[in-house]
Structure 1
């Protein structure tokens, strides 16, 4: 194969760096990044490092991207691939601007099989399958119903559900009939959407494609995600129909404008994105094609063992001897879980944004507890910050992606927002504490109800019983895994203004519902509820999605808990900031 990249695309559009940016308050601008100055940074018998640099000149006329970028590529002897990184810099005199997204992308030809994880891999549609004569665009522009795909095996939900004795090599090779492959015919239409192949940074590390002839693997390997903005739970795109393969470094997907990088007038800044590794492998035997994925996973582990690399020439990339370390114990204080400090198992700890130059905060959160740790403040109790564990129904058979049949990621199927109305056709969801099960009875996304001509607001009811009411202020903890264009109101016992205890308008720009996610930007609201609003006996809390007319708005709850006031003087002495009783929790 002379060239792995797409020969139909112009040369600058086959493998490239790009970004989205805007002037403050302005419209989004897309820019393909190109270097205007070439130089050899390092050359020896064992290694070559080259640079392609673009320098911003503040005095130049017109509106130009206020950013200097230095692209670096490293080729090493005996290494099947190359390392890529880039140095982004705002030099003195730059104008103010916002950075929305930046990445490196590769476009191929003759690659049809993609792999993200052991469970998420498949033969993909052709780019022509997304065009109007072969596919039908759905409510989400990126979602296309494959009506008449070039590959007949992809028509009717790929027409394949593998039997237990079907191997990955058989999937890759499938040139035979369905009967020969040992498969069942489904007769469903398949949906393709690039957001269905998103993954958390913490769950990624290697993804790529295998070509059909010659049999070559192309893999993007992240030896670390420390240079990717958004942290370990940030969701990013990986691969999509094209075939395209992405290395994402910064973007607003699943978070929205909250993660925009705002640069002030004259502000200086520099960051190294990468290095990441582009790994190539091959085989002459088609029956060994799947082994290219296995080999790529091994290469990922090897690259991780080398991190931080010791062969990068830029002085702005810090080697191991230039880095420090931190050690200690992180404990959680949740007085409703334990009277003792709880070890922070499965914690995420790192440096948060600098408060002043060179001074950072130590930030962390713990799966299973609400809140954050920042410096010496321990805000107790959090969650896993996702809507995982709630009820996700089966997909409408009109919109199947076979990759997520019988998968823990059922929520990635298209059209799951409409399944709420299918499951609750007459009235909205009612959840009784102590009776209902959140894994079966709490729909994973609070969305609008599908009406006859438009989407309608929906109100969810949580019912619970109080044997007594303690005078004082109760506390409702409302942790939200993600939200999009939501007007949320919370009422206690009655749906009137006197019993309205909380409201927030236009919450979130995460777009998680339409992009088939389960979490986005985490938000925690602590709501005071007067005891005068509660009664002995049966009580209700109403959660209302007030905004109607929007199929894709929604709130995904993470954790809800109502706490009673303290009643014991001894308890107040030990825990003056605490509430005494956990009335209910819905996790």
Structure 2
């Protein structure tokens, strides 16, 4: 039997044909009204009922149940099917068995427990038995003709640490007030959820750990869809790789989740906006996998702060007043003729949700209305020796400026930039080919404007951008003169913040790709400027050369085995004459597992690539981690007329300890 490549296994059954999409549209229209005898109605009014432990909201399409104790979504029913791994029976009514308070009498010993459902990692429980959450109805459908319902569970810290869900500790994560809300609209095939954090000035230092929303789904979900590459069957019996194979760029993929080939239904998370998500438009994140326990429940995740790919920080200093609202995002249920049709519909729904942002029904939390937000526009003009008239993958964003992240020990000082920031809101858009851009729905505040585009090394920055409440801002024409230390001698790759153009870059989801380097390049990389092709002759991971035949891939840990040999990447180039002055070897790096690399020219030491920012990209199969620049400058007289040999050597060590280059350029100031 023919052995399939890892990429082929992942892409098996993937199809995005127009016929499938059209078929999905027709089937979804009919299934919105009836399926298997179960009647659903987009015209039904929203109802809200409650018992001692839960609120139940129903709009005739979906029926959801929210815990007053924890803020968890303990049941999600669609087409009369429970979508979560475990949930209370729909007919179950929980009686009060505690002494109080009246709105949450069972808080000390709830009947409904566990997290085999939908939950925020930072729940409202706090240290067990310390204090009850405060549940309430924030939108009563009886008062709006059944148009919508919203329920809230809230907890004030009162000196205790909050957040005891999975990923945190039983003693709580940090001192912060938390409010979790769920909102059900008439005619909506899903429920919205959002969480607001509040840190008053009198609270102590708070440092967020892993922060996300997770839903553990019913076992009939057997098809994962997180982007166009990863859209395939995924069961315990067809497991491929580890969970980091299932990372993607959430900015480019606003809808992700699971579907069932048997039941022909799906459940997806949809981010209508990315303003509350960390890391900007290049951040990759874990979005779905099989749970790592024995049950292996299908999981779908929405991370707003994680430790993945360089991590993100949301650290609030002692005495600092801070608040942030995560969401609302949409938990969407749908149906169709098959996984492709279901996923196509979810992606279409994501476009619709984005068009509604900001939602007009959010009140009482840190969430400005549309009239109080602003539109910021302008045009970037690149002034460079290489003329840029057609901007490609042009990203523009308004973010908080670089800052020193709060810590218990102030030394060493940690500078946090937009790539690692989860504390503040960010507003990014993809600009136009002519350099113009329009950033909508910006909150009032003071920002730094950042921009970058393919084929230009570096990023544009303009500070002190003041956005006023409800007032549009036109920044006009902004000139960007990219940094050049001298004339360009040669370059390798494309400055595009990833390594997709290099050999193996399209196979990054294969956990064993690092072990294939010795087979592809038994004598290591030799790149001849002007002759070699970086898509064939330059491997995207510069890693120690494995010689251990027993080396293997261990989930979550990457390649395990004997240390690999030092790996030289050799670059051969010609000079028309012996140069003088100073040479600058400039690196754009987009993935780091190494601490340093050595540079030599014509057999002489030229310097060391150091002060590197590790991000776990190689271990966790990422496409882009933390992007940054480094350079090695040396006396140009080390070069000569004719053929020159430059070597960049990765020291011997664990195979995961390497670098992923975005772009390399040699410049000469003579």
* TM-score calculated relative to the size of structure 1: 0.74
Q: How far apart, in 2, do the equivalents of 1:564 and 1:444 lie?
A: 25
**Equivalent of 2:233, from 123, 139, 149?**
123
The 5-angstrom pairing of residues 128-207 of structure 1 reads: 149=237, 154=238, 191-207=240-256
* 1:7 maps to which of 86, 102, 107: 86
**Structure 1 residues 487, 19: CA separation in 2 closer, same or farther (over 3 Å shift)?**
farther
Report the Cα distance in structure 2 between the residues aligned to 1:528 and 1:226, rounded to whole angstroms.
39
Task: State the TM-score, normalizing by the size of structure 2.
Answer: 0.65
Q: 1:430 aligns with which of 503, 526, 529?
A: 526
CA distance in 2 between counterparts of 1:417 and 1:363 reads: 33
Between the aligned partners of 2:542 and 2:132, the Cα distance in structure 1 is: 47
1:324 to 374, 388, 393: 374
Q: Distance in 1 between matches of 2:151 and 2:586?
A: 53
Q: Which residue of 2 aligns with 1:244?
A: 299
CA distance in 2, matches of 1:59, 1:288: 48
2:152 aligns with one of 32, 51, 55: 51
Question: What is the aligned partner in structure 2 of residue 494 from structure 1?
Answer: 603
- Match of 1:229, SS state, is coil
Q: What is aligned with 1:460?
A: 569
Q: How many corresponding residue pairs?
A: 467
Segments of 5+ residues of structure 2 without an aligned counterpart are 1-79, 88-111, 163-170, 291-296, 404-443, 464-478, 484-493, 549-561
2:115 partner SS: helix
CA distance in structure 2 between the partners assigned to 1:16 and 1:530 by the alignment:
58
Give 1:440's aligned residue. 536
- 1:132 alignment partner in structure 2: none
CA drift of 1:10 comes to 4.8
- Find the partner of 2:495 among 383, 386, 391: 383
Matching of residue 346 in structure 1 with residue 393 in structure 2: yes
Residues 30 and 528 of structure 1: is their aligned pair in 2 closer, same or farther, counting only changes over 3 Å?
Answer: farther
Change (3 A) 1:459 1:491: same
Alignment partner of 1:517 out of 619, 622, 626: 622
1:533 aligned residue (613, 623, 638): 638
Q: Show the counterpart of 1:366.
A: 453
Q: Distance in 2 between matches of 1:58 and 1:379?
A: 51
Contact 2:160/2:175 (8 A) holds in 1: no
Tell whether 2:260 aligns with 1:211: yes
User: Residue 37 in 1 paired to residue 134 in 2?
Assistant: yes
Q: Distance in 2 between matches of 1:30 and 1:413?
A: 41
SS at match of 2:135: strand
Note the C-alpha offset of 1:226. 1.9
1:583 matched to which residue of 2? none
Structure-2 change in CA distance of 1:388 and 1:193 (3 Å): same
Indicate conservation of the 8 Å contact 2:196/2:365, yes or no: no
Corresponding residue of 2:201: 92
Contact 1:35 1:52 in 2 (8 A): no
Answer whether contact 1:470 1:565 (CA < 8 A) is retained: no
1:490–1:542 contact (8 Å) kept in structure 2: yes
| Partner residue in 1 for 2:362 | 312
What is residue 111 of structure 1 aligned with on the other side? Answer: 221
Measure the CA separation in 2 of the matches of 1:491 and 1:60.
53
Task: Give me the whole-angstrom Cα distance separating, in 1, the residues matched to 2:351 and 2:527.
Answer: 45
Cα shift at 1:215: 3.0
Contact 1:14 1:108 in 2 (8 A): yes
CA shift in 2, pair 1:565/1:462, >3 Å: same
Structure-1 separation of matches of 2:344 and 2:392: 30
RMSD: 2.9
Q: Aligned partners of 1:438, 1:392: CA distance in 2, in Å?
A: 11
User: In structure 2, how many angstroms separate the alpha carbons of the residues matched to 1:375 and 1:54?
Assistant: 39
Match of 1:360, SS? strand
Tell me if structure 1 keeps the 8 A contact 2:222–2:234.
yes
Report the 3-state secondary structure (helix = DSSP H, G, I; strand = E; otherwise coil) of the residue aligned with 2:645.
strand
Number of the residue aligned with 1:504 = 610
For the pair 1:296 / 2:392, whether they are aligned, the reply is no
Find out whether 1:451 has 2:553 as its counterpart. no
Q: 1:553 to 1:51 in 2, by over 3 A?
A: same
Q: CA 1:67 to 1:419, structure 2 compared with 1: closer, same or farther past 3 Å?
A: same
The residue number in structure 1 matching 2:590 is: 481
* Partner Cα separation in structure 2 for residue 373 and residue 541 of structure 1: 30
CA gap of 1:451–1:291, structure 2 versus 1, over 3 A, is closer
Pair 1:59–1:7, CA change in 2 (3 A): closer
For residues 228 and 450 of structure 1, what CA distance do their matches in structure 2 show? 37
Structure 1 residues without counterparts, runs of 5 or longer: 21-28, 127-148, 155-189, 394-408, 567-587
Distance 1:260 1:562, change over 3 A: same
Cα pair distance change 1:485/1:90, threshold 3 Å = farther
How far apart are 1:533 and its partner, in Å? 1.4
Distance 1:328 1:435, change over 3 A: same
Aligned partners of 1:562, 1:102: CA distance in 2, in Å?
41
